[in-house]
Amino acid sequence: MKRGLPIFLIFMFILVSPVNNEIVVLDDASTSVHELAVAPPERVYGVDYAQRVFDTVSMSSFQSYIIKLTENGSRPAGIPTDLGAKNIAARNWIVDELYAVSSGRIEVEVLGEYASVLGKLPGYLPVDAPALMVGGHYDSVSIAPGANDDGTGVAASLELARVMSMYEWPLDIYFGFWNAEEVGLLGSTEVSHIMKDRNIELLAYYNVDMLLVPDPGAPQGAQVLMVYPIGSYHEGAYWADLTRAMSQTYGQHMIQPIMSIDFSAWTRSDHYPFSQRGYTALFAHESGFAYDTAYHTPLDRWNNPLYDYPVATEAVKAIGSAMAFTMARTYGEPTTYDLSFTLVTSHERNFTFAISTPTAINVTCRWFGGGTTISLYNPNDQLVTQMVDPDASPWEHTQIISEHVVSKGLYRLHIANTGGTGVGHELKLSYETDIDGNDILDSEEFWFDDEYFSLDSDLDTISDAQEMFIGTNRFSNDSDSDTLPDPWEVEHELDPLDPSDAEGDNDSDGVLNLVEYLYNCNPNHPDSDSDTMPDLWEIQNGLNPAVDDSLEDPDNDAVTNVKEYEDGTDPQYAEFRPERLVIPGLIVGSVAAIVVVAYKTIRRRT
Q: What is the pLDDT of residue 137?
A: 98
Cα–Cα distance, 13 to 192 (Å, whole number): 11
Q: Considering the domain boundaries, does residue 100 fall inside one? A: yes
Contact criterion met (CB below 8 Å) for 205 and 267:
no
Domain assignment of residue 49, given as a range? 7-26+44-326
Residue 2 included in any domain: no
Give the rounded distance of the alpha carbon of 178 from its chain centre: 27
DSSP code per residue over 300-311: --TT-TT--HHH
Amino acid, res. 253:
H
369 and 257, same structural domain?
no
Banded pLDDT at 22 (limits 50, 70, 90): very low
Which is higher by pLDDT, 590 or 204?
A: 204
Task: Examine residue 478 and state whether it is found in any structural domain, yes or no.
Answer: no
Relative to beta strand 372-377, strand 359-368 is unpaired
Is the peptide bond preceding residue 150 cis, with omega within 30 degrees of 0? yes
One domain for residues 364 and 237:
no
Name the band, by pLDDT with cuts 50, 70 and 90, for residue 143.
very high
CA dihedral 318, 323, 326, 328 (to 10 degrees): -100
**pLDDT average, residue stretch 505-525:** 95
Is 589's pLDDT higher than 90?
Answer: no
Q: Which of 6-10, 120-124, 451-455, 477-481 is least confident?
A: 6-10
Mean pLDDT, rounded, of the chain: 89
- Residue range 149-168: average pLDDT? 98
Amino acid of residue 43: R
CA distance 356 to 335: 11
CA–CA dist 434, 442 (Å, integer) = 5
Does 303 share its domain with 156? Answer: yes
Are 378 and 294 members of one domain?
A: no
Regarding whether 344 and 414 lie in a shared domain, the answer is: yes
Question: Residue 135 in contact with residue 207, Cβ under 8 Å?
Answer: yes
CA distances from 404 to 35, 407, 437 (A): 48, 10, 18
Residues 346 and 268 in one domain: no
Q: What is the total count of domains within the chain?
A: 2
Phi then psi dihedrals of residue 341, to 5 deg: -165, 165
Pick from 91, 93, 96, 139: which is nearest to 117 by CA?
91
Check residue 603 and give its pLDDT. Answer: 42
Instruction: Kindly report, residue by residue over 36-77, the tens digit of the pLDDT.
Output: 345 578 999 999 999 999 999 999 999 999 999 999 999 999
Question: How high is the pLDDT of residue 463?
Answer: 87
- Report CA-CA distances (Å) from 343 to 73, 188, 219, 421: 49, 47, 25, 9
Out of 123-132, 133-142, 439-448, 584-593, least confident range: 584-593
DSSP state, residue 212: S
Give the pLDDT score at 3.
41
Residue 25 predicted with pLDDT over 90? no
Mean pLDDT on 275-294: 97
Please check whether residue 592 lies inside any domain of the structure.
Answer: no
The predicted-structure confidence for 384-442, as pLDDT tens digits, reads as follows: 999 999 999 988 889 999 999 999 999 999 999 988 899 999 999 999 999 999 999 99
**Average pLDDT for 18-22:** 35
Parallel/antiparallel/unpaired status of strands 393-405 and 359-368? antiparallel
User: Residues 6 or more apart from 13 whose CB is under 8 A from it?
Assistant: 189, 193
User: Residue 184: its pLDDT value, please?
Assistant: 97
d(CA 126, CA 449): 12
Are residue 164 and residue 265 in the same domain, yes or no?
Answer: yes
| Helix 309-326, helix 59-70: angle, nearest 10 | 110
**Shared domain check, 227 and 190:** yes
The half-sphere exposure of 457 on its side-chain side, counting CA atoms within 13 A, is 14
Shared domain check, 146 and 54? yes
Identify the weakest region by mean pLDDT among 24-28, 303-307, 309-313, 488-492: 24-28
Which domain CATH number covers 264?
Answer: 3.40.630.10
pLDDT of residue 577: 65
Which residue(s) pair with 205 in the sheet?
Answer: 133, 281
| pLDDT tens-place string over residues 550-574 | 999 999 999 999 999 999 999 999 9
Query: pLDDT above 70 covers what percent of the chain?
Result: 89
CA distance 222 to 209: 16
Residues 143 and 201 reside in one and the same domain: yes
What's the chain's length in residues? Answer: 606
Domain boundary among 416, 432, 448: 432
The domain spanning residue 406 has which CATH number? Answer: 2.60.120.380
Contacts of 568 (CB under 8 A, 6+ apart): none
In angstroms, how far apart are the furthest CA atoms of the chain?
142
DSSP H or E segment with residue 236: none
Residues 261 and 282 in one domain: yes
> Does 87 score more than 70 pLDDT?
yes
DSSP H helices in 455-532: 464-470, 486-491, 513-518
In terms of domains, do 282 and 423 share one? Answer: no
Q: What is the distance between the alpha carbons of residues 243 and 204, in angstroms, rounded to a whole number?
A: 12
Is residue 566 included in any domain, yes or no? no
- Is residue 271 one of the residues assigned to a domain? yes
Domain termination residue (choose one: 432, 461, 495): 432
Residue 19's pLDDT is what? 33
Q: Is the residue at 516 inside a domain?
A: no
Of 432, 467, 502, which closes a domain? 432
In a domain, 531, yes or no: no
State the average pLDDT over residues 502-507: 94
pLDDT band at 454 (very low <50, low <70, confident <90, very high): confident
331-383 residue pLDDT tens: 999 999 999 999 999 999 999 999 999 999 999 999 999 999 999 999 999 99
